[in-house]
């Protein structure tokens, strides 16, 4: 029995967890529902705590070096202390609220590569390795965000990639320690443009939309510098605004076609 307890403490023959999600797709500000299934091991063990959370991979710049790390940005306690004996099983339903600043991972079912957000499950056992589980969840945009993304596609921008950057965007409502950058290939009609980067920072009232234009260098009459724009709207305004017209006017004035005659 002592040997079995030692093995259980190392994660061999101890309790295990598996999480199933009832809502594998969610939206910022929404709720993810699921159930944690706990299966007892070969020996009696004491559970100290059961939590579920949201995590994703974040890019970090430190001096001249870059690296990535997993960051948990939401966590909820769904179970406290209990004793689980051999042969016992528990089912623990949960609700996990998604922050409005949660990064988007897909748009209309199309993944924003290489974005991943996972629901982690952590079962803290007294004197034992913490068995866990990680389940991917898709975060789709709010209607206000979707209207903006649809407008970009309508004027010819194509998705390139997306990632999370550690840091802050000044003069926004940001509360999380990271922000998302979604980069697009330039639409052909804008000869002076190399790429466009987009960040959403949302809360329950509205969103900040931060845009960066990467202008091509070496073109006639082009200064070859980046240009930034910051728009703040409510979610109702964002869902109904003519973003395509707004974007075309702004981008064309800075990086549109350049002709001599």
What is the rounded distance in angstroms from the CA atom of residue 239 to the CA atom of residue 27?
15
127 within some domain: yes
74: in domain = yes
Q: Is residue 235 part of a domain?
A: yes
Judgement on whether residues 125 and 184 belong to the same structural domain of the protein: no
Give pLDDT tens digits for 139-161. Answer: 999 999 999 999 999 999 999 99
Query: Is 260 among the domain residues?
Result: no
**8, 128 Cβ separation under 8 angstroms:** yes
Is residue 191 within 8 Å of residue 219, measured between CB atoms? yes
Query: 98 and 156 share a domain?
Result: no
| Torsion sign (Cα): 77, 81, 86, 91 | negative
Q: What is the pLDDT of residues 218-228, one digit of tens each?
A: 443 444 456 89
Same-domain status, 121 and 57: yes
> Are residues 128 and 66 part of one domain?
yes
The enclosing domain of 17 has a CATH number of 2.60.40.640
Predicted pLDDT of residue 9: 38
Q: Rounded mean pLDDT of the chain?
A: 88
Structure tokens at 240: 């109904």
What does the pLDDT look like over 59-83, one tens digit per residue?
Answer: 998 888 899 999 999 999 998 888 9
Determine the Cα–Cα distance for residues 202 and 173; give it in Å rounded to an integer.
7
Gap between the Cα atoms of 237 and 76, Å rounded? 32
Of 109, 139, 169, which marks where a domain is finished? 139
- Among 246, 242, 68, 254, residue whose Cα is nearest residue 165: 68
Q: Which domain holds residue 202?
A: 143-255
The reply to whether 261 falls in a domain is no
Let me know whether 162 and 80 are in one domain: no
pTM summary value: 0.87
Same domain, 176 and 106: no
Q: Is 20 a residue whose pLDDT tops 50?
A: yes
Examine the domain organization and report whether 94 and 54 are in the same domain.
yes
Last residue of some domain: 97, 116, 139?
139
- Are 51 and 171 in the same domain? no
- What average pLDDT does the segment 176-191 reach? 95
Final residue before a domain boundary, out of 111, 139, 167? 139
Instruction: Quote the CA–CA distance of 112 and 261 in Å, as a whole number.
Output: 40
* Higher per-residue pLDDT: 133 or 167: 167
Shared domain for 111 and 56, answered yes or no, is yes
Looking at the structure, tell me whether residues 157 and 129 fall in a common domain. no
Q: Distances from the Cα of 222 to the Cαs of 37, 176, 225, 254, in angstroms?
A: 60, 36, 8, 9
pLDDT of residue 14: 67
**Number of domains the chain contains:** 2
* Bigger pLDDT: 79 vs 106: 106
**Same-domain status, 195 and 159:** yes
DSSP E strands, the chain: 16-21, 25-26, 31-39, 45-62, 65-79, 82-84, 89-97, 106-107, 110-111, 117-125, 132-136, 138-139, 158-166, 178-185, 193-202, 206-215, 226-234
**Does residue 118 share a domain with residue 54?**
yes
């Amino acid at each position: 029995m002592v040997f079995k307890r030692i093995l259980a403490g190392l994660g061999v023959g101890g309790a295990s967890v598996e999480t199933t999600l009832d809502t594998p797709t969610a939206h910022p500000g929404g709720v993810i529902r699921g159930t944690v299934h706990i299966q007892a091991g070969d020996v009696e063990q004491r559970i100290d705590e059961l939590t579920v959370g949201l995590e994703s991979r974040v890019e970090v710049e430190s001096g001249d070096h870059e690296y990535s790390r997993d960051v948990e940005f939401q966590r909820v306690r769904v179970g406290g202390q209990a004793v689980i004996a051999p042969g016992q099983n528990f089912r623990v339903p949960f609700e996990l609220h998604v922050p409005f600043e949660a990064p988007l991972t897909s748009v209309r079912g199309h993944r924003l590569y290489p974005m991943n957000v996972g629901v982690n499950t952590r079962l803290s056992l007294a004197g034992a390795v913490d068995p866990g589980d990680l389940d991917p969840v898709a975060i789709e945009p709010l209607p206000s965000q979707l209207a903006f993304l649809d407008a970009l596609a309508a004027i010819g921008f194509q998705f390139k990639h997306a990632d999370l950057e550690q840091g802050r965007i000044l003069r926004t409502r940001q509360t999380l320690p990271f922000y998302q950058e979604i980069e697009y290939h330039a639409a052909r009609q804008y000869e002076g443009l190399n790429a466009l980067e987009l960040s959403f920072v949302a809360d329950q009232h509205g969103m900040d939309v931060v845009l960066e234009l990467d202008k091509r260098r070496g073109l006639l009459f082009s200064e070859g510098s980046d240009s930034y724009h910051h728009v703040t709207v409510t979610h109702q305004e964002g869902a109904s605004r003519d973003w395509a017209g707004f974007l075309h006017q702004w981008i064309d004035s800075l990086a549109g076609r350049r002709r001599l005659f």
